[in-house]
Amino acid sequence: MARACDICGRGRMLGNRVARRGAPKRRGGAGRKITGVTRKKFQVNLQRVRVMVDGTPQVLRVCTRCLKAGKVLKAA
């Protein structure tokens, strides 16, 4: 089972975690220096929600973006 939204298909995204040292110039320093870059996984915020699908309640994994947008009808 993939860690993705059942409605929009939104899954994890990859990015960089940047480690820096030094004080910024606006605080009187010599500037921030990058000392290392590692890969990072940004996980999607999924919630298990009972929703109505074709008139029957089902439990789906839905991202919070779809919940806020009202793309799903919650089952009572």
Q: Is residue 57 part of a domain?
A: yes
pLDDT tens, 21-61? 999 999 999 999 999 999 999 999 999 999 998 989 999 99
Cβ 30 vs Cβ 15: under 8 Å: no
Q: What's the pTM value of the predicted model, to 2 decimals?
A: 0.72
Please give the Cα distance from 62 to 76 (Å, whole number). Answer: 17
Please give the Cα distance from 32 to 71 (Å, whole number). Answer: 43
φ, ψ (nearest 5 deg) of residue 10: -70, 130
Structural domain that includes position 27: 13-69
Cβ 51 vs Cβ 75: under 8 Å: yes
Q: Is residue 31 part of a domain?
A: yes
Q: How many domains does the chain have?
A: 1
Q: Per the structure block, which two tokens stand in for 42?
A: 């940004």
